[in-house]
Amino acid sequence: MLVLGRSQVEALLDVDSLIDALALAMADLSAGRASVPDRVAALVPEHDGFLAAMPGFLPSAGVLMTKLVSLFPHNDAARLPTHQALIVAFDPDTGEPTALLDGTAITAARTGACSALSARLLAREDATVLAVLGTGVQARSHARAICRVRPIRQIRVAGRDPARAAALAAELSAVLEAEVQAVNTYAEALDGADIAAATTHTAEPVIRRAWLTPGVHITSVGYNPAGRELDDATVADALVCVESRQAVLAPLPAGSNDLLLPIRDGVITADHVHAELGELIAGSRPGRTAPDQITLYKSVGVAVQDAAATALVVAAARAQAIGEETTLR
């Protein structure tokens, strides 16, 4: 069994290849070619945390895997990742375990890469201003990935802690060609933004309809069982796209309050979810229809994303003879 640590996974995972691989994976998911049951989770209420299991089979990539991922939102204060994960890959012909790898880096990379895929499908081609809401791992991942699919020239970073926003802006300035600046409020970050990436654990919406510019594309990946990133008016006015209707509308902890709460309150119905990304890729559903249309990608994370990333990492590791071989026998 091949064992790969976090630094090895990060070095092996190419973002451009991942975005392309995710497009194939999302198309397979929407077409019913992949097997992805709803995730299940053990709750840890005293820390507002949980441990979730996310199995998946992606035949086109030849990957059978499961991810165990913990979400402990208060880790952020201790400078620990809020999401930590392990992935085990199995031989799809025999069920034998074949690889054990860090899933924390994969979770960060595939989430940002799939948001970039949504931007490639839905954001205006002339989008140049990106608002990044949040200052954690996903904020970094989203800034780097979205710059791969649109000609971003300016990035505005906003978060609860101005010092952390400033530090992230300086970090991104060193690795991206865009002008990056920290701003004081979410509203300031969103003013005039062509793409908005919400990556928070907020209790109250950080994206509000009044703060948005016509034509903005929003990606929202934050999760809080007691909160939401988007206000009702934003969801109601947007063309809403998701990874999986089944996943995003499932009860918590699988689904998203950003859609479940406005459905509960009668603001929208489940039919307001316009399309899955895979349907946009296949052409069975249209994407953006007007330059001033607001588009929204609401993500909850699905196992085919982890499977697609795992396939790339394991193949690259074997090709480059990276990692350690061990046996559990």
How high is the pLDDT of residue 329? 75
Query: What is the tens place of the pLDDT at every residue in 65-112?
Result: 999 999 898 887 777 888 899 999 999 999 999 999 999 999 999 999
Predicted structure pTM score:
0.96
How high is the pLDDT of residue 79? 77
Q: Annotate 255-280 with three-state secondary structure.
A: CCHHHHHHHHCCCCCHHHEEEEHHHH
Cβ atoms of residues 196 and 123 within 8 Å = no
82 against 154, higher pLDDT: 154
Read off the pLDDT band of 158 (50, 70, 90).
very high
- Is the pLDDT reported for residue 193 higher than 80? yes
How high is the pLDDT of residue 81? 84
Q: Which residues of 50-81 are buried (b: 16+ CB within 10 A; e: fewer)?
A: bbbebbbbbebbebbbbbebbbbbebbeeeeb
Please state, rounded to an integer, the average pLDDT across all residues of the chain: 96
Read off the pLDDT band of 151 (50, 70, 90).
very high
DSSP string covering 122-190, please?
HS-TT--EEEEE--SHHHHHHHHHHTTTS---EEEEE-S-HHHHHHHHHHHHHH-SSEEEE-S-HHHHH
How high is the pLDDT of residue 210? 98
Residue type, 178: A
- Is the pLDDT reported for residue 328 higher than 90? no
What is the distance of C-alpha 176 from the center of its chain?
A: 20
Length in residues, the chain: 329
Tell me what the mean pLDDT of segment 161-173 comes to. Answer: 97
Domains of the chain listed by start with CATH number? 2-107+304-325 (3.30.1780.10), 113-301 (3.40.50.720)
- Is the pLDDT reported for residue 267 higher than 90? yes
How high is the pLDDT of residue 80? 84
Query: What is the tens place of the pLDDT at every residue in 212-239?
Result: 999 999 999 998 888 999 999 999 999 9
Nearest to 91 by CA among 55, 64, 59: 64
